[in-house]
C-alpha cells in the first residue's frame, strides 16, 4: 500500500482540472465515485461491504483521503482491493489536482470502479470538484435527520444519498421520512438508499445502482468511440470518392445510429 503526502493545488482552474481528469478516466474506462460525509458516518464500513458483495462482479480500487493515519486503507487492502492512502497536509477536502495525484500510483488496468473516500467533513468537500463522475453523500442515523437543513450544499451537489446505520433506528430520534423529504427538496434528482452495511439491509439496491452507473459510463464511452471510428471511415470514403460528399456520409451515419 502506498501513502502519498499531498499539498493543496492552489489554482483557479480546478474545474478545468476536473474535466481533464474525467476525460482521463474515460480513456481508462473506469468510473470514479466521490464519497462525502462527516467523520464516523460509516464510509469505510460501507465500502468494505460493497467490495465484499461485488467481488466477482466488479473490480474496485479505493483512494483513502485523511489528514493523517493509514488505518482505513489498511482495512480496505485486507479485503483484497487495491488501496492508496493520501494525506492532505491538513486540508479538509480533496480537489481535482489532488485526486489526480493520488491516482498516479494506481494500476487501473482491469479496474471498473474507483471510490474516493473524501476527508470527513460536511462543508469543504462539497465546494470542490474532484473529477469524480458521481458524488455520493453518506448520512448516518446517529447524526440526525436535520443535516439537509444545516448543510444544504452537500445534498445539492450529490447524485446519491446513502443513509447508513439503519439498524440503529430504534435507538435514535431519526425521522427517515423527514430526512428524505428534506434531501429531495434540495435536490429532486438525488437517489436515496437507506442501508445497514452491518446487516446488509438495503445494500442490493445501492450496489445495483453502482453497477448500472458503471455500465452506462462504460457503454457511453464505447458508443462515443464507435461514432469517432465511423466518422473517420466516412472521411476516408469521401476522400476516396466512394461517397459524393461529407453531408451524404453524415446522413448515412445518422441513419445507422438512429440520430434524430
Label residue 260 by pLDDT band (50, 70, 90).
very low
- Rounded Cα distance, 132 and 114, in Å: 9
pLDDT at 246 over 80: no
The CA angle 117-83-37, to the nearest 5 degrees, is 10
pLDDT score for 60? 97
Q: What is the pLDDT of residues 188-244, one digit of tens each?
A: 999 999 999 999 999 999 999 999 999 988 887 666 665 666 677 667 766 777 666
Q: What is the pLDDT of residues 53-77, one digit of tens each?
A: 999 999 999 998 876 677 888 999 9
Ramachandran category for residue 153: left, alpha or beta (phi over 0 → left; psi -120 to 50 → alpha): alpha
The CA angle 9-38-172, to the nearest 5 degrees, is 175
Per-residue DSSP letters for 183-229? HHHH-TT-EEEE--TTT-TTHHHHHHHHHHHHHHHHHHHHHHHHHHH
- Rounded Cα distance, 23 and 96, in Å: 12
First to last CA, the chain: 50
- What interhelical angle do 71-78 and 43-53 show, nearest 10? 10
**Mean pLDDT in residue range 89-104:** 85
Q: What is the pLDDT of residues 16-57, one digit of tens each?
A: 889 899 989 988 999 999 999 999 999 999 999 999 999 999
Amino acid at each position: 500500500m502506498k501513502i502519498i503526502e499531498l499539498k493543496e493545488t492552489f489554482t483557479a482552474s480546478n474545474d478545468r482540472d476536473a474535466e481533464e481528469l474525467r476525460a482521463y478516466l474515460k480513456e481508462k474506462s473506469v468510473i470514479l465515485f466521490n464519497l462525502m460525509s462527516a467523520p464516523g458516518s460509516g464510509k469505510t464500513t460501507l465500502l468494505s461491504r460493497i467490495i465484499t458483495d461485488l467481488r466477482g462482479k466488479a473490480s474496485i480500487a479505493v483512494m483513502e483521503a485523511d489528514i493523517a493515519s493509514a488505518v482505513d486503507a489498511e482495512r480496505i487492502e485486507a479485503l483484497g482491493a487495491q488501496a492508496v492512502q493520501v494525506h492532505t497536509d491538513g486540508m479538509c477536502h480533496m480537489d481535482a489536482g489532488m485526486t489526480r495525484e493520488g491516482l498516479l500510483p494506481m494500476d487501473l488496468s482491469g479496474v471498473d470502479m474507483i471510490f474516493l473516500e473524501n476527508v470527513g467533513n460536511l462543508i469543504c468537500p462539497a465546494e470542490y470538484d474532484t473529477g469524480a463522475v458521481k458524488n455520493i453523500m453518506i448520512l448516518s442515523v446517529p447524526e440526525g435527520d436535520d443535516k439537509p437543513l444545516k448543510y444544504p450544499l452537500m445534498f445539492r451537489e450529490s447524485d446519491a444519498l446513502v443513509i447508513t446505520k439503519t439498524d440503529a433506528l430504534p435507538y435514535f430520534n431519526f425521522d427517515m421520512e423527514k430526512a428524505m423529504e428534506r434531501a429531495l427538496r434540495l435536490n429532486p434528482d438525488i437517489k436515496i438508499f437507506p442501508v445497514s452495511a452491518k446487516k446488509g439491509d438495503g445494500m442490493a439496491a445501492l450496489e445495483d445502482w453502482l453497477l448500472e452507473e458503471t455500465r452506462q459510463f462504460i457503454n457511453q464511452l464505447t458508443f462515443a468511440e464507435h461514432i469517432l471510428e465511423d466518422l473517420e471511415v466516412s472521411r476516408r470514403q469521401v476522400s476516396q470518392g466512394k461517397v459524393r460528399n461529407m453531408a451524404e456520409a453524415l446522413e448515412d451515419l445518422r441513419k445507422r445510429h438512429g440520430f434524430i
